[in-house]
Amino acid sequence: SVHAEEGRSERRRPNIVFILADDLGWGDVSGYGAEDLETPHIDRLIADGVKFNAAYANCPVCSPTRAALLSGRYPERAGVPGVIRAQDPADSWGYLRPGAVLLSDLLQSVGYRTTLVGKWHLGVEPENLPHARGFDTFHGFLGDMMDDYFTHRRAGVNYMRFNEEVIDPPGHATDLFTNWADDSIATRSSEQDPFFLYLAYNAPHTPIQPKKDWLATVTHLDEGVNEKRARLIALIEHMDDGIGQVVAALKKHALWENTLIVFTSDNGGQSNVGANNGPWRGGKGEMYEGGIRVPQVAVWPGRFEAGS
């Protein structure tokens, strides 16, 4: 009806929060059957929204999946058939094509305020920095992986940035990214325009380096878990806690009801560091199910049926 169309046109456009884990296995979420870890905040998203049982990443490694997610193209068509390695150009497999229009570009063009917090991994050339690819604000890490969650270097190079400024913040990367996401939500809450927050954790990518307090919690809860598995569990549960903080920030600023949240992983878990990919064969780096089938959930209060 005419009145229904008028109501839809007056409804405020939703904010969008896209949360991407790095190397989180299908079976490393308690809502997907993990029995030796707890991810209550991801599980809460599952209860509040739509759980995907057969979601697939576009590639079993980092850069191609990120290029595909943001461009809506197959990785090769976005110019990124393999892993981009800024520290080793001779072994770098991609250059994000200028003609690849990203989700950030599109949302920016229709009035969204766009922010990337966390891992970029789509190039360090000036033309491929987040600011040049549709993001108003960038607070995070440009490279592929950190050699240390606390010093944030890769092969001795500091890739941490606030917009285009080199920064050297203290603290565990998971805490930093969570705090910066919370800060972005607080800032955007006072603005009239809707926002797009792309929060890309580097957890639980190697090195498996959890904070001591989180590791102590894991070993206390299950004394039978081996050390390798315990370290990965601690890294995952720490990230889950950060996701809970981001959701709490949305609710604190009265944004929860009008925000679309998507959570997923860029590929399957890395088998040789103790990841659990559920019943699926293989893991990160392999085109078997374990390498590309990923946990995924979408929540939009009042629009998506809870628990579906």
Which residues belong to the active site? 62, 121
Specify the DSSP class assigned to residue 143. S
Alpha carbons 177 and 204: distance in angstroms, whole number: 13
Question: Helix H segments across the chain?
Answer: 2-10, 40-48, 62-71, 103-109, 173-188, 212-221, 227-252, 289-292
For 106, other C-beta atoms within 10 Å of its C-beta total 15
Structure tokens at 295: 């946990």
Specify the DSSP class assigned to residue 214. H
Alpha carbons 58 and 293: distance in angstroms, whole number: 9
Q: Locate tokens 């805490």: which residue?
A: 175
Tell me the angle at which helices 227-252 and 212-221 cross, rounded to the nearest 10 degrees: 110
Alpha carbons 110 and 16: distance in angstroms, whole number: 13
Contact 283, 268 (CB under 8 A): yes
Q: Locate tokens 């110019």: which residue?
A: 79
Alpha carbons 133 and 207: distance in angstroms, whole number: 29
Q: Phi and psi for 59 in degrees, rounded to 5?
A: -160, 155
**C-alpha 203: how far from its chain's center?**
9
